[in-house]
Amino acid sequence: MQLWVGLGNPGPSYARQRHNIGFMAIDAIARRHGFGNWRRRFHGLLAEGALAGARILALKPQTYMNASGESVQQAAAFYRIPPEQIVVFHDELDLAPGKVRIKRGGSAAGHNGLRSIDRALGTADYWRVRLGIGHPREKDRVLGHVLGDFTAEDQEWLGPVLEALADAAPLLASREHERAMSRIALAAKGPARTEDKQQPESG
Q: How far apart are CA 152 and CA 129, in angstroms?
A: 24
- Kindly tell me the burial class for residue 203, based on how many C-beta atoms sit within 10 Å of its own C-beta (0-12, 13-18, 19 or more): exposed
pTM for this one? 0.91
Residue 202, in any domain of the structure: no
Residue 198, in any domain of the structure: no
Q: Which domain holds residue 139?
A: 2-187
Mark residue 194 as left, alpha or beta (left: phi above 0; alpha: psi -120 to 50; beta: remaining). Answer: alpha
Number of domains in the chain: 1
What CATH number does residue 55 fall under?
A: 3.40.50.1470
Residue 47, in any domain of the structure: yes
pLDDT in tens, 115-162: 999 999 999 999 999 999 999 988 889 999 999 999 999 999 999 999
Residue 72, in any domain of the structure: yes
pLDDT in tens, 32-86: 999 999 999 999 999 999 999 999 999 999 999 999 999 999 999 999 999 999 9
Residue 193, in any domain of the structure: no
Q: Which residues are catalytic?
A: 19
